[in-house]
Chains A and B, each alone.
Chain A
Amino acid sequence: MQEIAEGSLLTLIWVGIVGFAVFMYVLMDGFDLGIGILYPFAPTEEDRDTMMNTVAPVWDFNETWLVLGGAGLFAAFPIAYAVVLPAMYLPLLVMLIALIFRGVAFEFRFKARAGRPWWNRSFFLGSLLATFAQGVVLGSFIQGIPVYERQFIGGMLHWLSPFSLFCGVALVVGYALLGATWLIWRTIGPLQDWCFRMARRLMLVVLAGVAAVSLWTPFLLPQIAERWFSLPNLIFLSPVPIVTAVLAFALWRAIDNSREVAPFVLSMALFALSYLGLAISLWPHLIPPGVTVWEAAAPPKTQVFLLVGMAFLIPAILGYTAYSYWIFRGKVTGAFGYH
């Protein structure tokens, strides 16, 4: 009994760590992918330079969270890694290829002369497709993955559904909002004004998207409907939509009052709430609808070996992340950097 209890606690900790890594990725790469999505719509080419400069020192660091999420799944929940990745073969292929083209655009764009419009397109399309693919993966994941003998048994197009495509579009708008509010914080002048206008419009679409996904999800799986709408859960969980609504209102006010930092913080909070809502819907399943976190967990020997290091390394990573962001703090303008 003791052993089971210990095992459960370890698994819970690992759910927390992997969940945290994925969320960190969504936030951190979310805003720099969002900048790529907004990229071709920026008023001038100089604004595009500035937009890229705001994330140049940190983008590859942000993307490292994606590797951590993948590796964390592989280490702590190997079956999830072995099932989810094959099920998402084609969307993940799109995501990887898109991330390659967008990542190298950072390095190549400022070098190219004749080729520059191509690297602009590469940055935009790479960001757009990578985000869309991530949304599709998310949507398809919520809908469930058929598993037999610890392996995925669906077809190569299993991920394709109206819901997953809708999630793809919703995430594109969501990341664009993160990108716009990040730029409000880090830029000044006409570019910042433009970002305020974009953020206001994007916010409305994002809220509509969050509402649509929230209402659509319970229809996908009866267990999700039961989770939210049965008593007493309905009461216990009611703070989630209520706080979301309050945050949305605060974000609206912050943008209207031309606050500089608050819109970014509130957008991140909106993402956090949506993420929490998702976790509530799916718990305790790691691969909906059949495999729970307990069934998927690696044995305690593996979990402990990893946890010993994580206890020191995750705080250290967060520490030097904060340091790096602090060094590159402040407004970024077209006046310095690339010419």
Chain B
Amino acid sequence: MELDPLILSRIQFAFTISFHILFPSFTVGLACWIALLEALWVGTGKGIYRSLSEFWTRIFALSFGLGVVSGIVMSYQFGTNWSRWSDTVGNVLGPLIQYEVVTAFFLEAAFLGILLFGRDRVPRGIHLMAACLVALGTLLSSFWILSANSWMHTPAGFEIQDGRYFVTDWWQVVFNPSFPYRLTHMVTAMFLTTSFVVAGISAFYLLKRRHSDHAKLGLGMALGLITVLAPLQIFLGDQHGLNTLEHQPAKIAAMEGNWEGGPRAPLVLFAIPDVKAETNHLEIGIPALSSLILTHDFNGTVPGLKQFPADQRPDPRIIFWTFRLMVGIGMLMLTVAVVHLVLRFRGRLYSSDWFHRILVGCMPIGFVAILAGWFTTEIGRQPWVVYGHLRTADAVTPSLTVEAALVSLISFVVAYAIIYGAGTYYLIRLLRTGPTHIHDAKQPPEAQRPKRPLSAADQSIEAAE
């Protein structure tokens, strides 16, 4: 592979967005959970809700900070590395990004300050409202950015003049054909990701026999949500796949590793796709199952990669596997939900160490599934950046040189390695420390108000020692 500004920019984008997405994936669900805990605290006055909320708010703040700085990078990268794309689609996508900033980012940033530092400075109701507004901000942010992304997969509501895009119908732009599917699939994925982290941390405390009240509460709530969302997610994923089949059949063919297409297509479980020979090696498949899944009929006809010109095919070598990884994790999540139900009905949910160990191991699976899913959908859109209209190769900044692109890529890799390394280290320290106990009371004891979340952990470490 020869290095040129295009491939370097693609690697840089994939690298920075992959790191960035980890944080929203986690903080959207977490913000909602914190808001729920704050509501329970205001409603019941039970100290456990408040202390659990404060614990997770510290983790939220750290994750949010890392998400903010990596997000600023994204908002500039569109222009620095993809200036032809920016100029071509700016009329359409610019406003969606702008709406994300003014509806979501400001709301999150302003009320996060109050959520973190304002507990003693504002009435309890205002503090709860701040928690709810932060959660609302994260959801609005997801709404706009997924709308913009979906438009690049299924563009609608525009016309092209002189090679640039002009909007004819905003409703069609925002609610483009793949958007409802992508939004529900992604938001559910984010809630599942958060649930598995909360369940994993809670299980870790149960195994260590620490903070058992907090841990049982967290574990019960997280697994309850997983039980609802895991089967729902499989349904939503299926719907999203059907939508992709309708609008981006080449992507489906690549995901399925299907070269020939046609009726009674097998579900390929294992294969090594060979792009040059246009075939799979070592293929193992279940006959007709792919047709059944995609068309809900054994004899249904599904697309094959050979039906598309070679220069309009996505490369199946990565996404065949990332898709299987995502689906596999979905099935694992469903299994966890079922096992949890069995244990709960037998009354052994909080005493089964083996299950808690599994949950600790499952902590990162939501993140892995989200990354795998995004790799699948984004690589599956290639060679287009705006599907069917603008090629990725025509979107890159024309003035960009190999040297400059290489310098920026290396800089980001080094910087992220340092920052995320340190961030992970401090997160683990926060998690090891755990929640602090707060008494039930109408008026809680005047706590030291930390100016940043991490200092609170210091205090609790010292208190424990």
Contact = CB atoms under 8 A, between A and B. Distances in A.
Interface of A: 52-53, 56-58, 60-61, 63-64, 66-68, 70-72, 74-76, 78-79, 81-90, 92-93, 96-97, 99-101, 103-104, 106-108, 110-111, 115, 150-156, 298-299, 301-302, 305-306, 309-310, 313-314, 317, 320-321, 323-324, 327-328, 336-339
Contacts of B103: 309, 313
B125 interface: no
B455 A339 contact: yes
B458 interface: yes
Interface of B: 61-62, 64-66, 68-73, 75-76, 78-81, 83-84, 86-87, 89-95, 97-103, 105-107, 109-114, 116-118, 121-122, 166-168, 170, 397-401, 403-404, 407-408, 411-412, 415, 419, 422-423, 426, 429, 449-455, 457-459
Contacts of B455: 110-111, 337-339
Given A107-B61, A107-B452, A156-B399, 19 more contacts: A64-B101, A71-B75, A71-B97, A78-B90, A81-B79, A81-B86, A81-B90, A82-B84, A85-B79, A86-B81, A88-B80, A101-B419, A104-B66, A104-B422, A151-B84, A151-B397, A301-B166, A306-B95, A314-B102
A320 B91 contact: no
Given A111-B454, A151-B398, A151-B399, A298 B90 contact: yes
Given A78-B87, A110-B452, A328 B117 contact: yes
Contact of A107 (B84, B429, B454, B458): B454
B458 A152 contact: no
A57 B115 CA distance: 10
Contacts of A108: 422-423, 426, 454
A100 B69 contact: yes
B65 A60 contact: yes
18 contacts: A58-B113, A60-B65, A64-B106, A67-B101, A76-B98, A81-B83, A86-B397, A93-B411, A103-B65, A107-B62, A111-B429, A111-B458, A152-B398, A155-B399, A320-B111, A336-B449, A337-B451, A337-B455
Contacts of B107: 320
A310 B102 contact: yes
Nearest to B63: A107
Contacts of A74: 78-79, 86, 90, 93-94, 97-98
Contacts, number: 250
Task: Rank and list the top 7 A-B pairs by shortest CB-CB distance, nearest first.
Answer: A78-B90, A85-B79, A75-B94, A82-B87, A111-B454, A57-B113, A61-B109
A305 B451 contact: no
Contacts of A153: 398-399
Given A107-B65, A107-B453, A328-B121, A64 B111 contact: no
Contacts of B454: 107-108, 110-111
Nearest to B170: A305
A57, A78, A305 — most chain B CB neighbours (10 Å): A78
A310 B94 CA distance: 14
A317 B112 CA distance: 14
Contact of A96 (B73, B101, B404, B450): B73
A111, A309, A321 — most chain B CB neighbours (10 Å): A111
B76, B98, B170, B457 — most chain A CB neighbours (10 Å): B98
Contacts of B101: 64, 67-68, 71
Given A60-B112, A68-B102, A151 B87 contact: yes
A51 to B, nearest CB: 12
A327 B121 contact: yes
Nearest to A310: B102
